[in-house]
């Protein structure tokens, strides 16, 4: 199977996670951010991730990919219950976290931005929605304190380092991509259980953290 992705994209991380968790090989293909032609050719619109299945048919939408891959061998892993507290925590954090992450994505050495045109495409699209990146970066300190406080609340919800609720569930698929992308932000205070969970999930899913390029 092949998976078309952007490295920074949390939805793409969700799709990548299930391959790592199940140790199923997949060929990752990173699209340039300004490459509209390829995804439109594959599925009729510009989006990622896109899975090319073994029968050469294409499947978009991260959770559809997760569910397909989880069940493809008849041995699903994501059998745990979801907890409303995790969903509520994510909903709260997602009201502001893009102001920390997206301006930093734009500066980072992701393969999807490996040409000046691709990086400029991303910046122009996202600034049109989010506002000026430099202004958001200038206000990072307050947001870093806010996410550090919210991570302390998350710390109380983590049951085990290898599964947030004690057994792998869809909550892990939603939570880890955000925590992984937050490693791009320097200065965040990571509580012990959150850090252990983050690091353990990175190993389980075989997805790199972004600490080495944090800013």
Closest CA to 195 of 184, 204, 207, 183: 183
pLDDT tens column, 133-155: 999 999 999 999 999 999 999 99
Q: Which ranges in the chain are annotated with CATH 1.20.1050.10?
A: 84-213
2-71 CATH choice from 3.40.30.10, 3.40.50.300, 3.90.1150.10, 3.10.129.10: 3.40.30.10
For the chain, percent of residues with pLDDT exceeding 90? 100
Report which secondary-structure segment, H or E, holds 58: strand 58-60
Is the pTM for the entire model greater than 0.85? yes
CA distance 183 to 66: 23
Instruction: Tell me which fold the domain 84-213 belongs to.
Output: Glutathione S-transferase Yfyf (Class Pi); Chain A, domain 2 (1.20.1050)
Confidence of residue 88 (pLDDT cuts 50, 70, 90): very high
Q: Which ranges in the chain are annotated with CATH 3.40.30.10?
A: 2-71
Report, as an integer, the average pLDDT of 79-106.
98
pLDDT tens column, 38-77: 999 999 999 999 999 999 999 999 999 999 999 999 999 9
Sorted by sequence, the CB contacts under 8 Å of residue 74 that are 6+ apart come out as none
């Amino acid at each position: 199977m092949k998976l078309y992705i952007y490295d920074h994209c949390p939805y793409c991380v969700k799709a990548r996670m299930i391959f790592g968790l199940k140790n199923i090989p997949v060929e990752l293909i990173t699209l340039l951010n300004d490459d509209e032609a390829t995804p439109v050719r594959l599925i009729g619109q510009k989006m990622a991730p896109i899975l090319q299945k073994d029968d050469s048919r294409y499947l978009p939408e991260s959770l559809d990919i997760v569910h397909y891959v989880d069940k493809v061998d008849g041995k699903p892993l994501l059998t745990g219950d979801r907890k409303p507290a995790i969903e509520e925590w994510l909903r709260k954090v997602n009201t502001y976290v893009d102001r920390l992450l997206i301006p930093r994505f734009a500066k980072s050495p992701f393969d999807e931005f490996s040409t000046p045109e691709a990086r400029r495409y991303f910046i122009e699209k996202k600034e049109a929605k989010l506002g000026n990146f430099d202004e958001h970066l200038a206000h990072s300190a307050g947001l870093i304190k806010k996410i550090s406080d919210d991570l302390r609340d998350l710390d109380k919800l983590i049951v085990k380092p290898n599964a947030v609720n004690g057994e792998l569930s869809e909550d892990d698929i939603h939570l880890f991509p955000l925590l992984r992308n937050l490693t791009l932000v320097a200065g965040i205070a990571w509580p012990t259980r959150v850090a252990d969970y983050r690091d353990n999930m990175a190993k389980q899913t075989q997805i790199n953290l972004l600490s080495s390029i944090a800013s």
